Amino acid sequence: MSGLLGKKIGMTSIFDAAGKNIPVTVIEAGPCVVTQIRTNEKDGYEAVQLSFDDRKEKHTTKAMKGHFAKANSSPKKYVSEFTRFEQRKQFGDILTVDVFMEGEFVDVVGISKGKGFQGVVKRHGFGGVGDATHGQHNRLRAPGSLGASSYPSRVMKGLRMAGQMGNHRVKVINLQIVKIIPEKNLILVKGAVPGPVNGYLKIERWN
């Protein structure tokens, strides 16, 4: 599995050769620097660590400055690993959007937008309970019965209830690359990807 790290720029739409309007997400992908090589002998597994997006040195710890210096790279904000990389890489190698081809399918990983604490109607799509015309006034968006009485006298694990919504790691699979703009390090993938504008993304390409 190979790929790149990137940043979500936003969404737009383009027309294909047949004149069909396609919604796409614009992603700034790379350039990424190889900042570490994991090996079975030393680490117990094989992987390639990529780093993306420059960070100011004053905001970087001494340990991380030394880590990036080994690869002759400036400090970076986003670091992630790829296992089973299709080609042998060396410290300091720079990867660009050339690793992708138009028309192929990729998986995109990101952190979804945080929604805070939400009720069951917004979080799980419940319909609400009760009838607003029969006297009750504050139960329209309540979850209803939790499904337990004298037995088993507890709420079962996994029951859908109100709680924290969003701000989770989300992977969207099989998104097609519609267009690549190499001079601007941009790729356009069909559909939506998780996270806000300027949120970091991991674009995985299966070999």
Mean local confidence (pLDDT), 121-136: 82
Domain count along the chain: 2
102 and 174 both lie in a single domain: yes
106 and 57 both lie in a single domain: yes
Q: Please check the confidence at residue 130 and state whether its pLDDT lies above 80.
A: no
Q: Please check the confidence at residue 109 and state whether its pLDDT lies above 80.
A: yes
Task: Return the pLDDT at 105.
Answer: 93
CATH number at residue 181: 2.40.30.10
Please provide the distance, in angstroms rounded to a whole number, between the alpha carbons at the two ends of the chain: 5
Task: Return the pLDDT at 86.
Answer: 67
Mean local confidence (pLDDT), 25-31: 91
137 and 158 both lie in a single domain: yes
pLDDT confidence bin for 196, thresholds 50/70/90: very high
Task: Return the pLDDT at 121.
Answer: 93
Structural domain that includes position 40: 2-116+169-205
157 and 198 both lie in a single domain: no
49 and 137 both lie in a single domain: no
Task: Return the pLDDT at 207.
Answer: 63
Please state, for a pLDDT cut of 70, what percent of the chain lies above it: 98
Task: Return the pLDDT at 189.
Answer: 95
143 and 73 both lie in a single domain: no
pTM beyond 0.95: the answer is no
Task: Return the pLDDT at 192.
Answer: 94
What residues have CB less than 8 Å from 94, skipping those under 6 apart? 30, 31, 32, 33, 34
Task: Return the pLDDT at 68.
Answer: 85
- The pLDDT tens digits of the residues spanning 30-86 come to 799 998 888 888 888 888 889 998 888 888 889 888 888 888 888 888 999 888 776
Q: Whose CA is closest to 202, among 98, 52, 74, 55?
A: 52
128 and 194 both lie in a single domain: no
Please state, for a pLDDT cut of 90, what percent of the chain lies above it: 46
200 and 174 both lie in a single domain: yes
45 and 85 both lie in a single domain: yes
97 and 111 both lie in a single domain: yes
The secondary element (H helix, E strand) that includes residue 69 is helix 62-69
Task: Return the pLDDT at 1.
Answer: 65
* Half-sphere exposure in the Cβ direction for 75 (13 Å, CA): 13
83 and 112 both lie in a single domain: yes
Mean pLDDT score of the chain: 88
Mean local confidence (pLDDT), 136-162: 85
Kindly state the tokens that stand for 58.
């004053």
95 and 60 both lie in a single domain: yes
